[in-house]
């Protein structure tokens, strides 16, 4: 299902296209329509299924049409500052062509941030993304006015309750208007979540999203490298592996353009596809790729859904996708029909935690390949544990010459 089918405002559709999205994920297909109809929602959906856009888009669309100046229109409560920042950044991209205002409210920053947050509550912001503790701090100051609130969103509700935020959440809800639309998202549905839902939701629609899994016949591998090693490792893979058609994914179209130019300079037969190309240009590139005339194609996630070319036997993630669902769709471009396929992901030292989250989503560990020592030292694959205060980073360990695993599969 394409996003154009949801009847969003034109400016919002521009932001969706700008963010590189064309086709909705299953959670978006099921959740967006009832939200737009005004229903309360309780949805079981894992992080990485596209659920953030599933609630952001209909909320933004409503506020674009029915905004109230000087008021907070939607409150999104999340368990950690990392998630608040992530949703805030996602929202910025989607709202680029709209007049939607937003702010992420979370602890651990400086006094200037607190002043900006205070001004947002006093002067109004369309969407506020907040952690419970920081929100309680502002409420305690006496200037938070939420009488005109239209939407309350609880994201990762099970995690918030596990972290002991139930009393804070109930206090926040106590100052909200009784008439509002409530959206609750949780990876699991234990009894305590159902009790909370019973307290705050009105005749909710319950939605359970089945998690996508890649076919078992896809051989998944990962190369853990420093960022500067990605290009030489990629060139080595393309040079030594046997394949009919190789599809390389980058998360940003600028990265697609730069990587394609670099590979062309290396005398490789490669083309690019992204949202800046006209439709007839995309068709020409895809026809060349499908026919085998172009053996290597570099693409954004615009190509991770909706393409079905049986000859793709190698997928390479040059960088880690934003959502685990995107990873599943990317590598699902190979091993079509009865064919086999290999999916290799280049994981930089700064992407280790993100890839670890994808492995948790998959419920399995992806084999880490053994690189040639000629590439130099590589990082240890050691994801950092996140505390409830939450910050993430690299492994924090000294580099080693190589790490255990298998050599890239030769085909």
pLDDT at residue 340, rounded to an integer: 80
Report d(CA 106, CA 109) in Å as an integer. Answer: 8
Q: Structural domain boundaries of the chain?
A: 3-208, 218-375
Let me know how long the chain is: 411
CATH H-level, domain 3-208: superfamily: P-loop containing nucleotide triphosphate hydrolases (3.40.50.300)
pLDDT at residue 33, rounded to an integer: 97
Report d(CA 50, CA 322) in Å as an integer. Answer: 9
pLDDT at residue 330, rounded to an integer: 87
Pick among 3.30.70.1090, 1.10.3720.10, 3.40.50.300, 3.40.1280.30: CATH of 218-375: 3.40.50.300
pLDDT at residue 98, rounded to an integer: 95
Report d(CA 62, CA 68) in Å as an integer. Answer: 11
Report d(CA 324, CA 333) in Å as an integer. Answer: 15
| 8 Å CB contact between 379 and 230 | no
Residue 238: CB atoms within 10 Å: 19
Could you give the angle at which helices 230-240 and 253-265 cross, rounded to 10 degrees? 60
Query: Mean pLDDT per segment of 10 residues, for the chain of length 411 residues?
Result: 93 90 88 96 77 94 91 93 85 93 85 88 94 94 92 91 90 94 87 89 88 80 96 96 94 93 96 82 87 93 67 93 80 76 96 92 91 94 64 37 46 47
pLDDT at residue 389, rounded to an integer: 40
CB burial readout 251-288, b (16+ within 10 A) else e = bebebbeebbeebeeeeeebbbbbbebeeeebeebbee
Residue with token string 């967006």: 32
pLDDT at residue 276, rounded to an integer: 82
Domains 3-208 and 218-375 share a fold: yes
CB burial readout 98-130, b (16+ within 10 A) else e = bebbbbbbbbeeeeebbeebeebbeebbbbbbb
Q: What is the largest CA-CA distance in the chain?
A: 67
Report d(CA 76, CA 386) in Å as an integer. Answer: 21
Q: Which of 143, 198, 176 is nearest to 77 (CA)?
A: 176
Q: Which of 140, 182, 149, 162 is nearest to 80 (CA)?
A: 162
pLDDT at residue 143, rounded to an integer: 92
């Amino acid at each position: 299902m394409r996003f154009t089918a949801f009847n969003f405002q034109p400016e919002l559709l521009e932001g969706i296209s700008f963010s590189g999205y064309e086709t909705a994920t299953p959670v978006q297909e099921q959740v967006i329509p009832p939200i737009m109809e005004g229903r309360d929602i309780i949805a079981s959906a894992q992080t990485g299924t596209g659920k953030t856009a599933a609630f952001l888009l209909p909320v933004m669309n409503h506020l674009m049409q029915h905004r109230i100046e000087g008021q907070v229109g939607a409150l999104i409560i999340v368990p950690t500052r990392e998630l608040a920042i992530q949703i805030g950044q996602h929202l910025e991209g989607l709202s680029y062509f709209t007049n939607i205002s937003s702010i992420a409210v979370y602890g651990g920053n400086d006094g200037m941030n607190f002043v900006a947050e205070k001004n947002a509550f006093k002067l109004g912001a369309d969407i506020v993304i907040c952690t419970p503790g920081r929100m309680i701090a502002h409420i305690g100051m006496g200037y938070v006015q939420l009488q005109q609130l239209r939407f309350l969103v609880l994201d990762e509700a099970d995690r918030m309750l596990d972290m002991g935020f139930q009393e804070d959440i109930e206090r926040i809800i106590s100052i909200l208007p009784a008439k509002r639309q409530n959206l609750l998202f949780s990876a699991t549905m234990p009894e305590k979540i159902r009790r909370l839902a019973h307290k705050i939701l009105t005749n909710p629609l319950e939605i359970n999203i089945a998690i996508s899994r890649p076919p078992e016949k896809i051989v998944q591998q990962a190369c853990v490298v420093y960022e500067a090693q990605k290009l030489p490792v990629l060139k080595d893979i393309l040079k030594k592996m046997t394949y009919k058609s190789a599809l390389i994914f980058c998360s940003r179209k600028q990265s697609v353009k730069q990587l394609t130019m670099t590979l062309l300079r290396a005398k490789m037969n490669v083309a690019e596809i992204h949202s800046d190309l006209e439709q007839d240009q995309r068709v020409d590139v895809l026809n060349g790729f499908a026919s085998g005339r172009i053996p290597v194609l570099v693409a954004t996630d615009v190509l991770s859904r909706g393409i079905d070319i049986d000859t793709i036997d190698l997928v390479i993630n040059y960088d880690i996708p934003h959502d685990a669902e995107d990873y599943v769709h990317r590598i699902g471009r190979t091993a079509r029909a009865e064919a086999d396929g290999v999916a290799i992901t280049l994981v930089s030292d700064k992407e280790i935690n993100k890839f670890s989250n994808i492995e948790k989503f998959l419920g399995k560990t992806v084999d880490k390949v053994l690189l040639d020592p000629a590439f130099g030292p590589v990082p240890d694959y050691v994801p950092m544990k996140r505390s409830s205060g939450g910050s993430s980073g690299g492994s924090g360990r000294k580099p080693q010459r190589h790490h255990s695993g298998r050599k890239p599969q030769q085909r």
